[in-house]
Amino acid sequence: MIILKSYFPAPNVIGLFILLFLLMLLYFPNSGGLGIALPCNLEFIGWLGLVVVVVLWRIPLRVISANRQPLITAGCLVLALPWLLQARGNPGVWVLLAGWLMWMLLQRLSITSFDKRFICAMVFILALAQSLICLIQVFLPQLAGQLYEYDWLRNHGRPYGIFQQANLLASFLATGLGCGFLLITQTTHRAGTITCCLGLSLLAFVLMINQSRAGALGAGLMILLISLLHWQSVARRIITVISMMAVCAFAGWYITHHIQILIDGVPYLIARDYDASTHERWNILSITWQMILQKPWLGWGYGTFEYTFSRYVLAHPELPYTYSSVVAHPHNELLYDWFQGGIVALVGLMMLIGGWIKMVLCAGTRGRLRISYSLLIIPLLVHLSLEFPFYLSFIHFALFIVLLRLGCPDNARTTEVTTTFRLAGLVCGALMVGYSAIGLYANHQLTHFERDKFAEFPSPVPWYFAVQLDRAEFDAMVALLIDFNQSHNQANLEQYMQRAERWSLRHNDSNVWLSMMTIAQYRGEKEKLTRMKQVYPRLFPLQKQWKAH
Whether residue 180 is found in the same domain as residue 309: no
Could you tell me if residue 440 is inside a domain? Answer: no
d(CA 464, CA 36): 13
Residues in the chain, pLDDT under 50? 1-9
Domain count, the chain: 3
Whether residue 317 is found in the same domain as residue 398: no
pLDDT value, residue 536 = 92
Whether residue 339 is found in the same domain as residue 382: no
Could you tell me if residue 28 is inside a domain? Answer: no
Could you tell me if residue 128 is inside a domain? Answer: yes
pLDDT value, residue 8 = 43
The torsion angles phi and psi of 91, rounded to 5 degrees, stand at -65, -10
Could you tell me if residue 443 is inside a domain? Answer: no
Whether residue 218 is found in the same domain as residue 338: no
Whether residue 342 is found in the same domain as residue 252: no
Q: Among candidates 247, 200, 244, which has minimal Cα distance to 222?
A: 200
Whether residue 253 is found in the same domain as residue 293: no
pLDDT value, residue 4 = 36
pLDDT value, residue 6 = 43
Sign of the CA dihedral running 60, 66, 71, 72:
negative
Instruction: Give the structural domain span for 349.
Output: 78-90+273-363
pLDDT value, residue 113 = 86
Whether residue 205 is found in the same domain as residue 300: no
Whether residue 192 is found in the same domain as residue 322: no
Whether residue 261 is found in the same domain as residue 289: no
Could you tell me if residue 545 is inside a domain? Answer: no
Q: At what angle do helices 490-504 and 470-487 cross, to 10 degrees?
A: 150
DSSP assignment of 374-392 equals HTTTHHHHHHHHHS-HHHH
d(CA 478, CA 537): 22
Buried b / exposed e over 131-140, threshold 16 CB at 10 Å, is: bebbebbbbe
Whether residue 101 is found in the same domain as residue 235: yes
Could you tell me if residue 546 is inside a domain? Answer: no
d(CA 426, CA 418): 12
Whether residue 311 is found in the same domain as residue 378: no
Could you tell me if residue 459 is inside a domain? Answer: yes
pLDDT value, residue 490 = 92
pLDDT value, residue 10 = 56
pLDDT value, residue 64 = 58
Last residue of a domain, one of 363, 378, 399: 363
Last residue of a domain, one of 314, 342, 363: 363
Whether residue 171 is found in the same domain as residue 260: yes
Neighbouring C-beta atoms of residue 510, cutoff 10 Å: 16
Could you tell me if residue 439 is inside a domain? Answer: no
Q: Are 99 and 397 in contact (CB under 8 A)?
A: yes
Last residue of a domain, one of 363, 382, 405: 363
- Composition of the chain by helix, strand, coil, percent to 5: 70, 5, 25
